[in-house]
Amino acid sequence: LSTTLSEAQKRLLRSTSLAHLGTINPDGSPQVTPIWVDVEDDRPVFNTAVGRRKERNLRRDPRVTIEMTDPDDPYSYIEIRGTAELDEEGAEDHIDFLAHKYLGVDSYPNRRASERRIKVYVTPTSVFGRVD
């Protein structure tokens, strides 16, 4: 298994398809939630907020899986396992960037004044893909 993303896999991560993030709950069971995603350098990047279940899961256990299907090919998908790194720096701009990419708007419409956004970088430890 590769630990680097191919160009086709990066194209998929840059598309407007949703990705699906797996994290581990405190009791060891799986959590899966839809996420907006993009790629910076060679790492998938997504965004969450302090206190959300996935953010708490990631602080406790940074192991994640990001799964993404290619809407143009029902048999293609990628599964990226990796380690999450949480960063507040740039997180507010990043959620606006993702809102622009996915919704075509200038700023994230669901912002709450009390919310602290978190940008999450995923360093791949294995990349499985039927998208070459």
Positions touching a second copy (CB under 8 A) are 18, 20-24, 28-34, 61, 63-67, 69, 74, 77, 79, 81, 102-103
Nearest to 98 by CA among 26, 34, 14: 14
Query: Which residue lies nearer to a second copy by CB, 32 or 59?
Result: 32
Nearer of residues 84 and 91 to a second copy, judged by Cβ: 84
Residue 23 beta carbon to a second copy: minimum distance, rounded to whole angstroms: 6
Which C-beta is closer to a second copy: that of 34 or that of 72? 34
Residue 13 burial (CB count, 10 A): 23
Sign, CA dihedral 12-81-24-40, equals: negative
Shortest spacing between CB 89 and a second copy, in angstroms: 26
Q: Which is nearer to a second copy, 45 or 78 (CB)?
A: 78
Write out the E strands in 8-116.
Answer: 19-24, 30-35, 38-40, 43-49, 63-70, 73-87
Nearest one of 25, 11, 23 to 82, comparing CA atoms: 23
We find the least distance from the C-beta atom of residue 18 to a second copy, in angstroms, to be: 6
* Smallest separation, CB 97 to a second copy (Å): 16
